């Protein structure tokens, strides 16, 4: 990969993600209402938890990346955080593989922790949504549809003929785009993370990150002088997050917010205005703040192509 083009591409991705986050979460009447009504004594705790969330996910990325490189854990962690803003762009999660590539980790290997990170998020969130749906009728229909899609995919992958078709299609696409060697290297790299210690650690860290976001959401409501039962918090956070991820939109922007507002008003007596304000504050703290942290790390602490030589 041309290092020069990669460098400028990452610059554009980081700035683009930050701009999108700013326009989305710092504009609109609901944001102004939230700013006016929120008790800011909760803000330091929420921002600290948001930073903890990013660090925990970064540590998971370290765990999933270490089988492929001798880089210090601090470099891998900075690569993860530096790519945070880019995730708000379509396909932006790939920026992390690009950042690792600047530190001389081949894209074929750096893509493995990127894909597994997203996979763990989906597995934990869908499992949580299934549990939440047992208590709330409002959540059963969408979660049953989601589970049905996963079951269908599982059945298709269980059939040898379908599995062979998927494999042949992937091989054809790799050959078509001239990345056949990288695709084969990727397939060979995957088994290196499929160990009980790595999978267990990654799963545990993913569960903790979900709990951290639930605490932030709880503090958000308290800052607006409202509260939700913990079971309701689980539904209000997890199911909209799953729907947002499945929408294919970067960060689930739009879908997640609308779904959260709908579920808040459905499972509680909280008015729509307060629900909109709560969602706006929550997304500013968890999305915009994380993007800002990532941009600061990228432009001040990430050394780009010098990372590999500086770490050797």
| Rg value, the chain, Cα | 20
In the structure, what pLDDT confidence band is assigned to residue 193 with cuts at 50, 70 and 90? very high
Instruction: Give the predicted TM-score (pTM) of the model.
Output: 0.86
Share of the chain above pLDDT 70, in %: 81
CA–CA dist 77, 75 (Å, integer): 5
Average pLDDT over residues 18-44: 69
Quickly tell me which residue has 């008015």 as its tokens. Answer: 271
Q: Which two tokens stand for residue 186?
A: 């990727």
Across the chain, what does the average pLDDT equal? Answer: 83
Residues 6+ away with beta carbon under 8 Å from 61 = 76, 77, 79, 80, 96, 113, 117
Q: Which residue has tokens 């507002």?
A: 261
Query: For position 147, what pLDDT does the model report?
Result: 73
pLDDT surpassing 80 at residue 99: yes
Region of poorest pLDDT, from 7-11, 48-52, 181-185: 7-11
- Name the pLDDT band for 179 (thresholds 50, 70, 90): confident
Closest CA to 115 of 91, 86, 149, 150: 91
Is residue 16 scored above 70 in pLDDT?
A: no
Residue 206 has pLDDT above 60, yes or no: yes
Indicate the helix (H) or strand (E) that contains 290.
helix 289-301
Task: With beta carbons less than 8 A apart as the criterion, state whether 13 and 250 touch.
Answer: no
pLDDT of residue 13: 64
10: pLDDT confidence band, cut at 50, 70 and 90? Answer: low
For residues 115 and 305, the model is more confident at: 115
Quote the CA–CA distance of 249 and 91 in Å, as a whole number. Answer: 9
- Given this model, what pLDDT does residue 189 score? 87
**Over residues 13-23, mean pLDDT:** 58
Q: Which range among 71-85, 127-141, 216-230, 287-301 shows the weakest confidence by mean pLDDT?
A: 127-141
Give the pLDDT confidence score for residue 31 in this predicted structure: 62
Of 52-56, 63-67, 133-137, the range with the lowest mean pLDDT is 133-137
What is the length of the chain? 312
Is the pLDDT confidence value at 237 over 90? yes
pLDDT at position 24 is: 58
């Amino acid at each position: 990969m041309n290092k020069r083009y990669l460098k400028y591409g990452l610059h554009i991705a980081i700035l683009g993600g930050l701009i999108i986050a700013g326009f989305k979460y710092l504009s609109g009447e609901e944001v102004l209402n939230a700013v006016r009504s929120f008790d800011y004594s909760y803000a330091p705790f929420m921002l600290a938890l948001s930073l903890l969330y990013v660090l925990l996910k970064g540590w998971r990325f370290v765990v999933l990346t270490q089988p492929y490189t001798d880089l210090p854990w601090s470099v891998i962690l900075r690569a993860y955080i530096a790519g945070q803003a880019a995730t708000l762009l379509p396909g932006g999660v790939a920026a992390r593989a690009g950042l690792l590539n600047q530190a001389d980790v081949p894209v074929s290997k750096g893509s493995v922790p990127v894909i597994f990170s997203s996979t763990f998020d989906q597995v934990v969130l869908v499992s949580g949504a299934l549990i939440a749906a047992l208590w709330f009728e409002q959540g059963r229909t969408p979660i049953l549809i989601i589970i049905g899609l996963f079951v269908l995919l599982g059945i298709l992958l269980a059939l040898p003929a379908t599995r062979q078709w998927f494999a042949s299609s992937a091989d054809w696409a790799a050959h078509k785009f001239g990345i056949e060697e990288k695709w084969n290297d990727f397939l060979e790299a995957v088994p290196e993370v499929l160990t009980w210690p790595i999978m267990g650690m990654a799963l545990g860290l993913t569960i903790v990150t979900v709990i951290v976001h639930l605490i932030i959401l709880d503090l958000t409501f308290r800052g607006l002088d409202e509260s939700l039962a913990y079971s309701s918090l689980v539904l209000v956070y997890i199911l909209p997050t799953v729907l947002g991820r499945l929408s294919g939109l970067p960060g689930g922007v739009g879908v997640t917010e609308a779904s959260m507002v709908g579920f808040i008003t459905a499972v509680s007596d909280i008015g729509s205005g307060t629900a909109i304000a709560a969602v706006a504050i929550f997304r500013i703290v968890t999305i915009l703040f994380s993007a800002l942290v990532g941009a600061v790390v990228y432009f001040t602490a990430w050394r780009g192509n010098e990372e590999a030589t500086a770490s050797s």
